[in-house]
Amino acid sequence: MSSQTVVKARIPQSAENDDGASRFDAILDAAEQVFAASGYQGATMREIAETAKVAQGLIHYHFDNKEKLFEQMVARRSDEINNRRADLLAALFKENSQPDLAKIVDALFRPTIETGLNLARDGGAFARILVTFANSADPRNQMLAEKYYDPIAQKFIESLMQVEPDLTRANAVWAYMFAIGVGMTMMAKTGRPARLSDGECDDGNADEMLERIVPFICGGIRALV
């Protein structure tokens, strides 16, 4: 989904590094690493500045404070994932007024898993942050989940009910929640499936995972009908 009320940070032309990389993005990249390692409470603007190799004052200039920096960090990756989810879902219904359930589930999971594996090359910091705040009762984290993830969740819940007419809204919501739990587990590359399978399962292969996640989730949804 598109985060309609995303924090608007200031990005002047002077924010460009000599190598062409934006200091703005460098700060967000560093924030991911620090928040993932230290948690929200433990992370400091000083450590983020040192990791990003920028003056701490530049972070305050762009983001004002830690809370706004954290939200902008969440918004950046959330848009990346949810805009693609929305595009895939819209394309399915444009192509067919009653698309196959498996294609809807694939549209839900593919952007999450592929983004997670792409970010895993940098240690999978955002995947760890997302798992933490998505399962948190902290008011700040709940606000972020509501703001950046609930709208796309509603789209998929409605889609599940449309292609499975006998699925009640309550069961569609539970199905979505259970499915997302699987997605959060698979977003971060841990290597555990390989350990448990003596190397047969590869959680670094998006297609291999989707070939199994999609029928697994579809079976669960249909069992609730």
pLDDT one-digit tens code per residue, 114-131: 877 776 655 568 878 887
Q: Is residue 143 domain-shared with residue 171, that is, in the same domain? A: yes
Please state, in angstroms and rounded to a whole number, the distance separating the CA atoms of residues 197 and 183: 20
Helices assigned H by DSSP within the chain: 23-42, 45-52, 56-63, 66-95, 101-120, 125-134, 139-148, 150-163, 169-187, 192-196, 206-224
Percent of the chain clearing pLDDT 90 (strictly above): 56
Digit-coded pLDDT (tens) for 40-66: 999 999 999 999 999 999 999 889 999
Residue 69 pLDDT > 90: yes
Question: Whole-prediction pTM value?
Answer: 0.82
At residue 191, the pLDDT reads 83
Residue 55 and residue 95 in one domain: no
In sequence order, which residues have a C-beta less than 8 Å from that of residue 184 and are 6 or more positions away? Answer: 127, 130, 131, 134, 135
Domain that residue 95 falls in: 70-224
Residues 131 and 39 in one domain: no
159 & 48 share domain: no
Residue 76 and residue 100 share a domain? yes
Counted domains in the chain: 2
Say if residues 206 and 145 touch (Cβ distance below 8 Å): no
Q: Among residues 25, 135, 140, 35, which one has the least CA distance to residue 80?
A: 25
Asked if residue 2 is part of any domain, the answer here is no
In a domain, 21, yes or no: yes
